[in-house]
């Protein structure tokens, strides 16, 4: 209830700070008997790991996930899965001089107002490093979904002012920046490089799709599948907007073009379009689920910025620590993880309400 737990039937509870001893999680509610592919799980961790390329912070962390419980004979047991990564390359002293200063665009000020005794080092609990445990949980969720033939993929639609033209979504996106449209990859990289050279940062837009989802997942009224997805994605730090299907574009459409018409193919109902993004009345239609999320530019930049301190003094700071010029590329796997957790949770949850 303090916001550290996500999900209803499949629940992920996380803990840990950027420069504390460890980050960890408990995944509760996984059915027993699911094969635990540790290589896959670690490969998901690696997709988010810092220090891998020039788009990410140069902090070096192995992010090697230790599974502490809930797995026996290579399979889940139904017991809660405890897991953990240790922090190693902390360089907490980098943050000593920032202790009393509120970094613009970060949670430093709000956390300090709320908690007073705050672990400020590297953002502490509010650091993006917290998302490592979402990825760990999401990897398990993907194992569950994979068994049901469901897959989750995300790609980059826009970086800074540059966006693609609605290219077809055909994962995997094997270009370095995981652009949906490989033709855009170079432009996206250039946009990031330019920002970095100018000691600045850029944001971007991620699209995520889920295929193989059966019709009828999601709860009506308040726990609509799209509402759950919106919360899941918006809970990722730096996310400032979420849309489903035609999203904001649908506001400008007519009902006659926005409604997805149905017809029969091989005796089964099919939708001619998917403006609803695979969800009607909060419940999955069986079509692809489509969402897009806007991420703001990384708030840490080396340009001088005006701000204030805990003692209410004005101050100019330049943040010379290690940070990503663009968080979007590393956020892809986090978006997938949160989406996978929502779908897996609803898959299990729906079983209770069948007749």
User: Of residues 186, 313, 318, 320, which one binds a second copy by CB under 8 A?
Assistant: 313
Which part of the chain contacts a second copy (CB under 8 A), choosing from 57-65, 175-183, 300-308, 329-337? 300-308
* Cis ω before 80 (30° cut-off from 0): no
Which part of the chain contacts a second copy (CB under 8 A), choosing from 89-97, 164-172, 173-181, 289-297? 289-297
Q: Does 275 bind a second copy (CB under 8 A)?
A: yes
Smallest distance, a second copy to C-beta of residue 22, A:
5
Strand ranges, E, within 257-343 = 262-265, 268-271, 279-280, 283-284, 289-295, 305-308, 314-317
Q: Which is nearer to a second copy, 79 or 190 (CB)?
A: 79
User: Cα(54)–Cα(332) distance, rounded to whole angstroms?
Assistant: 16
User: Of residues 50, 70, 138, 155, which one binds a second copy by CB under 8 A?
Assistant: 70
Binding to a second copy (CB under 8 A): which residues in 113-172? 113-119, 124-126, 130, 158, 160-161
Smallest distance, a second copy to C-beta of residue 94, A:
17
The mark string for 237-266 relative to a second copy (x by CB under 8 A, - otherwise) is: x-xxxxxxxxxxxxxxxxxx-xxxxxxx--
Q: Which is nearer to a second copy, 55 or 174 (CB)?
A: 55
User: Cα(323)–Cα(58) distance, rounded to whole angstroms?
Assistant: 7
Binding to a second copy (CB under 8 A): which residues in 212-231? 215-216, 218-224, 226-231
Binding to a second copy (CB under 8 A): which residues in 318-347? none
Q: Which is nearer to a second copy, 91 or 113 (CB)?
A: 113
Which part of the chain contacts a second copy (CB under 8 A), choosing from 89-97, 173-181, 309-317, 329-337? 309-317
CA 213 vs CA 36, 263, 278, 280: distances in Å: 21, 19, 9, 13
Closest to 136 measured CA to CA, from 35, 25, 49: 25
Closest to 332 measured CA to CA, from 188, 67, 155: 155
Binding to a second copy (CB under 8 A): which residues in 29-68? 29, 31-34, 66, 68
Binding to a second copy (CB under 8 A): which residues in 75-94? 75-82, 84
Q: Which is nearer to a second copy, 244 or 333 (CB)?
A: 244
CA 41 vs CA 22, 70, 76, 319: distances in Å: 18, 15, 14, 33
Q: Which is nearer to a second copy, 33 or 166 (CB)?
A: 33
Which part of the chain contacts a second copy (CB under 8 A), choosing from 14-22, 41-49, 88-96, 177-185? 14-22
Helix (H) or strand (E) holding 141: helix 131-147
Ramachandran area for residue 91 (φ above 0: left; ψ -120 to 50: alpha; else beta): left
Do 149 and 210 contact (CB within 8 A), yes or no?
no
Q: Which is nearer to a second copy, 117 or 172 (CB)?
A: 117
Do 328 and 156 contact (CB within 8 A), yes or no?
yes
């Amino acid at each position: 209830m303090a916001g550290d737990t996500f999900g209803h039937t499949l629940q992920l509870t996380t803990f840990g700070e950027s420069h504390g001893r460890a980050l960890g999680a408990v995944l509760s509610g996984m059915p027993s008997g699911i094969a635990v592919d540790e290589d896959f799980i670690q490969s998901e961790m690696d997709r988010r790991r810092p220090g891998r390329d020039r788009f990410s912070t140069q902090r070096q962390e192995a992010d090697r996930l230790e599974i502490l419980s809930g797995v026996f004979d290579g399979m889940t047991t139904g017991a809660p899965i405890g897991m953990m990564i240790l922090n190693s390359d902390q360089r907490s002293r980098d943050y000593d001089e920032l202790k009393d200063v509120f970094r613009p665009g970060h949670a430093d000020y709000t956390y300090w107002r709320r908690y007073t005794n705050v672990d400020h080092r590297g953002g502490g609990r509010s650091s993006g490093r917290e998302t490592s445990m979402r990825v760990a949980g999401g990897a398990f969720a993907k194992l569950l979904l994979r068994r049901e033939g469901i897959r989750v993929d995300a790609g980059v639609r826009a970086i800074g002012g540059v966006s693609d033209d609605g290219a077809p979504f055909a994962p995997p996106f094997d270009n370095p920046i995981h652009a949906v449209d490989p033709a855009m990859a170079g432009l996206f990289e250039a946009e990031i490089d330019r920002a970095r050279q100018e000691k600045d940062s850029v944001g971007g837009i991620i699209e995520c799709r889920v295929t193989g989802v059966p019709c009828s997942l999601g709860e009506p009224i308040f726990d609509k599948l799209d509402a759950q997805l919106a919360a899941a994605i918006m809970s990722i730090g730096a996310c400032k907007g979420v849309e489903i299907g035609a999203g904001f574009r649908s506001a400008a459409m007519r009902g006659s073009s926005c409604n997805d018409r149905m017809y029969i193919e091989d005796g089964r109902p099919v939708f001619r379009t998917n403006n609803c993004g695979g969800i009607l009345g909060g419940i999955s239609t069986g079509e692809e689920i489509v969402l897009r999320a806007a991420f703001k530019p990384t708030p840490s930049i080396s340009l001088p910025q005006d701000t204030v301190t805990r003692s209410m003094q004005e101050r100019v700071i330049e943040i010379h620590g290690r940070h990503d010029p663009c968080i979007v590329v590393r956020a892809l796997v986090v978006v997938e993880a949160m989406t996978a957790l929502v779908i897996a949770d609803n898959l299990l949850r729906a079983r209770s309400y069948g007749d």
